[in-house]
Structure 1
Amino acid sequence: EQLMLIDFLHEYLGLTGSRLGCGQGVCHACVVILDNADGSSEEVRSCITGASFFDGKKIRTVEAHATCDESGKPVALSPVQQKFLEHFSFQCGGCTPGFVNATTVLIERLKRQPIERSKVEETITEALNAHICRCTGYVRYYEAVKDLVLNTAGLVRNV
C-alpha cells in the first residue's frame, strides 16, 4: 500500500496545514498546489494521491503562502489569506487550506489570462465549486475571492 501525500506531509515533514477531511478526495480540504514546468499551477488532492506521484515535482502547501522572516516566523499574510480574514470567511477552519490553495491557483491563472468582468462570478464558482465547507461558509469565501479578483490589478479586463 502506498503512502498518501497528506500522510507524508504530516508525519515526515511536519507540514500539518493541509487538512484530512473526507479521506476520499471529495471535500478538497487536503489540496496542495502542483507547480507545472510551464509556469501554471493546479490543485491536487493529497489524501488520494500517493507521495511517489510528486517525486521530482514542485508543490506548495498552505504553509508556503505567508511571508516569513529569517527565523521562519510569519510576518505578512498572502493577499488571499488577508481577504479571507477581512471577510471572516471561515468558521471551524477545516476547509480553509483547500480554499486558500484553490484561490491561489485561480489568482495565478488570472494573472496569466485575465477574464472579462462579466465572467468573474462564474469563474469563481468554477474554481471553488468542488470545495466543501461543512460550516456553510461559502458566501463569505466567495465574497472574499470576488473582492480580491476585482481589486487586484490585471486580473479583470473591463470589456
Structure 2
Amino acid sequence: MAGLRTAVALVVCLSLINLATVLSQTTTQAPEIPCSTYSNSSCEQCLKNVKCLWCNLNHQCIDYPVRSLVPPSSVCPLNSARWGLCWVNFQALIITMSVVAGIILISIIICCCCCCKCEKGGLAKMDAKMTRQSEQRKVRQAERKVEMQMRHDEIRQKYGLTKDNPYSKFENN
C-alpha cells in the first residue's frame, strides 16, 4: 500500500512539474530557434523549448512529433526520449500513468457496484419493512373492529336491541 501511495505521489508530482514547466515555457516567448541547434549540448538546454524532444540515446535535440501523441520509436526509443524534464522518460511515464488510470477506473467500478448492491439491498429491506408494518396495521385494525363490534353488541343487549331478530321490538306491542 505504501508503494502504491509513493507511485501515485510520484506521478502527481511529475505531472505537476511537467505542467509547470510547460506553462513557464509557453509564457516566455523565446525566439524561434530550431531544436536541432541544441543537439550534442545538454538535455536542459534542449528542453527549455517546449517544442523540443531530447533523445538520450544519441544526444540529439529534435522537434517533438506533434502528429503523434507518443514519439515513434523510429525518432527515438521511448526509454531514451525526454520531454519537459530530463529525468522522466516516456516509457516510465506511460506505464505509471496507465497503472494509475487503471487503478482509478477499477476503484470507480468497484464503488459503483458496491453502491448498487447496497442500494438494492436497502430497497429490499425497506420494502420488507413497509410490508411488515402494513400487515401489523391491518391486524391491529381488525382487532379494533372486533372490539368495537363486541362493545356495540353489549350495548344492544343492555338496551334490548339484540341483532338476533330485527323485528323483535315490534312483537311486544
Query: For the superposition of Structure 1 and Structure 2, which TM-score range results when normalised by the shorter chain?
Result: under 0.3
- Higher RCO (CA-CA < 8 Å; seq separation 6+): 1
TM normalised by structure 2 equals 0.16
TM normalised by structure 1 equals 0.17
Q: For the pair shown, which has the larger CA radius of gyration, 1 or 2?
A: 2
Higher strand share: 1
